[in-house]
Amino acid sequence: MREDIVEALKNIVGDDWVVNNPEAVKSYLEDETEPGVKVEPAPATDVVVVKPVNAQEVSEILKLANREGVPVYVRGGGTGLACGCVPSKPGVVISMERMKEIEIDKENLMAVVGAGVTLGELLKAAAKEGFFFPPHPGDEGAQIGGLIACNAVGARAVRTGPMRNYVLGLEVVLPTGEILRLGGRLVKDNTGAGKLMHLFIGTEGILGVITKAVLRLSPQYKATATMVVPFNDRRACLNTVPEILQSGIIPLGIEYVQKKEVELTAKRLGLEWPSKEGEYYLLIMLAEFNEDTLYAQLEEIASICRKNGSLEPLLAETPEEQTNILKIRSEIYPTLKPYMEDSPDITVPPANIGKLIEELEKLERKYDIYIPLFGHAADGNLHPVIPVKEGWTKEQYEKLRMEMYQIAVKLGGVTTGEHGVGEARKKYLKLNLSNEAIETLRKIKKVLETTPSH
Ligand SMILES: Cc1cc2nc3c(=O)[nH]c(=O)nc-3n(C[C@H](O)[C@H](O)[C@H](O)COP(=O)(O)OP(=O)(O)OC[C@H]3O[C@@H](n4cnc5c(N)ncnc54)[C@H](O)[C@@H]3O)c2cc1C
């Protein structure tokens, strides 16, 4: 990286917060993307990492990069699964790790948080004040800025939906360096600012750098439980999900997992999977404000499951048991990673999940492979794993990946429900969006990149 650019960055943030020695930069060149879809060729190494502490510093960095025509990569927790924060060309990595402000606003049931606060840090700070934050993508090292940029979802989204539903205000720095403050500690905002704010949620940082957010919190639930429901029949297991929702009970989460993967994961973690029966499981997470409601819901769900052929449901009531089940669920991905080429994030209308399973089973037979499967059953969002198969070429993996994507689209779905597009999956965007839609996004990006408003 040019010495004058490194010096200019030091002038903005201070000498201690600019890193360009190759060893120290290494950990900023990767994220958690599956091996088979990582940025190719390898990430750029001619990279300087800069660590601003506020929006003003981000603004100065972006103005500099714009002036010098240097690419910028925004890095949150680096837990992304689409190489979104990985530098594909020599440039500047803006790491948000120093933006750690957390204010829990008890009266308003909100939190004001810096973009670099991790999910784990927010959960802890909220719990200390008697609050809860439902969204839970598996890795608590993800940062608030990254969660908003990716509109992350996770295992507890059935009742309340993705990150977007929790964002009430945003501070964003545009590529031209202007700082926007949109929304705020407001439950309602119909001024237009609130709507503009949503442009920056889920667009993976391509339209601006998120530096601060106002988030909605939930009061801590007084009664929680996780029910593990075993089935021997896969379709019966998944077909039970719409029936639970139609009953009027909306759990925090309904996850789908399988025996092979949960047992492998539990073993790796030194934990025990609670159920000895069945091959396929629903994990149903419930949270209510009193025990009577909770138990009534548990009974009703258990009876729907039994009617659909489940084996005896198991109940995890203590916080430790519930945490261990969520931990096993969250750690399936890292456990399988050494054996996987890819793990597509396909999503179909929830009612089509049975058809999706049938198509995936056809692929297993066609390619003579076992496809580990897990995911967010009530959201129609599954992660079928493409396993490493000895002797297979890149082309063979690509053929299978494309077939999975085409199946999802044919069933009315998309290639990604959560993990996003990033650098790794840009080439599949056309399967989901028309040329006109992609061009519209490009035009919006161009306007924000090139037109300072004063
Ligand atoms: C084990 C595991 C399980 C996961 N489970 C889920 C899941 O269930 N649901 C789910 O949705 N995701 C899941 N993920 C993916 C990942 O955690 C989310 O995509 C998360 O939102 C990424 O946040 P991050 O801070 O790590 O972002 P990064 O990986 O650092 O970056 C991701 C993207 O966001 C951009 N970005 C980061 N910070 C900012 C900012 N401040 N302003 C603007 N743009 C920014 C980056 O440029 C990049 O494009 C999982 C990941 C792992 C490793």
Residue-level pLDDT, tens digit, the chain, 454 residues: 889 999 999 999 999 999 999 899 999 999 999 888 887 768 888 999 999 999 999 999 999 999 999 999 999 999 999 999 999 999 999 999 999 999 999 999 999 999 999 999 999 999 999 999 999 898 999 999 999 999 998 888 899 899 999 999 999 999 999 999 999 999 998 888 778 999 999 999 999 999 999 999 999 999 999 999 999 999 999 999 999 999 999 999 999 999 999 999 999 999 999 999 999 999 999 999 999 999 999 999 999 999 999 999 999 888 899 899 999 999 999 999 999 999 999 999 998 999 999 999 999 999 999 999 999 999 999 999 999 999 999 999 999 999 999 999 999 999 999 999 998 898 899 999 999 999 999 999 999 987 665 5
The reply to whether ligand 1 has any atom less than 6 angstroms from the CB of 285 is no
Judged by DSSP in three states, 276 sits in coil
Instruction: Please tell me the CATH code under which domain 334-435 is placed.
Output: 3.30.70.2740
Ligand 1 center–CA 14 separation, angstroms: 27
Q: Which atom of ligand 1 is nearest to the CA of 205?
A: 44
Is the distance from the beta carbon of residue 146 to the nearest atom of ligand 1 less than 6 Å?
Answer: yes
Residue of 58, 61, 72, 139 to test ligand 1 pocket, by largest number of atoms within 8 Å of CB: 139
> Which positions ≥6 away from 175 have C-beta within 8 Å?
62, 66, 72, 207, 208, 448, 449
Q: How far apart are CA 310 and CA 240, in angstroms?
A: 9
Rounded to whole angstroms, how far apart are CA atoms 280 and 273? 13
Question: How many C-beta atoms surround the C-beta of residue 238 within 10 A?
Answer: 23
Cβ-based neighbours of 66, under 8 Å, separated by 6 or more: 175, 176, 177, 449
pTM passes above 0.85: yes
* Alpha carbon 412 to its chain's center: 21
Which CATH number, 3.50.50.60, 3.40.50.720, 3.40.50.1220, 3.30.70.2190, labels domain 223-330?
A: 3.30.70.2190
- Look at strands 72-75 and 91-95 and give their pairing: parallel
Q: Which two tokens stand for residue 189?
A: 């905002």
Residue 37: the pLDDT is 85
Q: Give the C-alpha separation, 71 to 87, whole Å.
A: 8
Q: How far is ligand 1, taken at its centre, from the CA of residue 135, in Å?
A: 13
Tell me, using a 6 A CB cutoff, whether residue 205 lines ligand 1.
yes
- Asked, colleague to colleague, whether 223-330 and 334-435 share their fold, the answer is yes
- The Cα 40–Cα 29 span in angstroms is 12
Q: What is the CATH number of domain 102-219?
A: 3.30.465.10
Please name the amino acid found at residue 96. Answer: M
Spacing, Cα 146 to ligand 1 middle (Å): 5
Measured in angstroms, how far is the CA atom of residue 79 from the centroid of ligand 1? 5
Residue 324: what pLDDT?
93
The rounded Å distance from CA 152 to ligand 1 centre is 7
Q: Measured between alpha carbons, how far is 60 from 5 in angstroms, rounded to an integer?
A: 12
> For atom 36 of ligand 1, which residue has the closest CA?
146
Q: Where are the domains of the chain?
A: 3-95, 102-219, 223-330, 334-435
pLDDT at 453: 57
Measured distance CA(168)–CA(201) in Å, rounded: 11
> Ligand 1 in contact with 84 (CB < 6 A)?
yes
What distance in angstroms lies between residue 148's CA and the mean position of ligand 1's atoms? 8
Residue found under tokens 């299978």: 400
Cis status of the peptide bond prior to 41, with omega within 30 of 0: yes
Angle, vertex CA 116, rays to CA 111 and CA 120, nearest 5: 65
Cβ(55) to ligand 1 under 6 A? no
> Which amino acid belongs to residue 131?
F
pLDDT value at residue 376: 93
User: How many other CB atoms sit within 10 Å of the CB of residue 307?
Assistant: 10
Please choose, from the candidates 395, 287, 295, 386, the residue with its C-alpha nearest in 3D space to the C-alpha of residue 344: 386
Domain 3-95 coded CATH 1.10.287.3510: no
| Ligand 1 atom with the shortest distance to the CA of 153 | 11
- Predicted local confidence at residue 454, as pLDDT: 53
- Closest to 177 measured CA to CA, from 272, 257, 78, 59: 59
Strand partners, 113: 102, 213
- The rounded distance, in Å, linking the Cα atoms of 255 and 329 is 8
User: Residue 157: its pLDDT value, please?
Assistant: 86
Residue 119 CB–ligand 1 contact under 6 Å: no
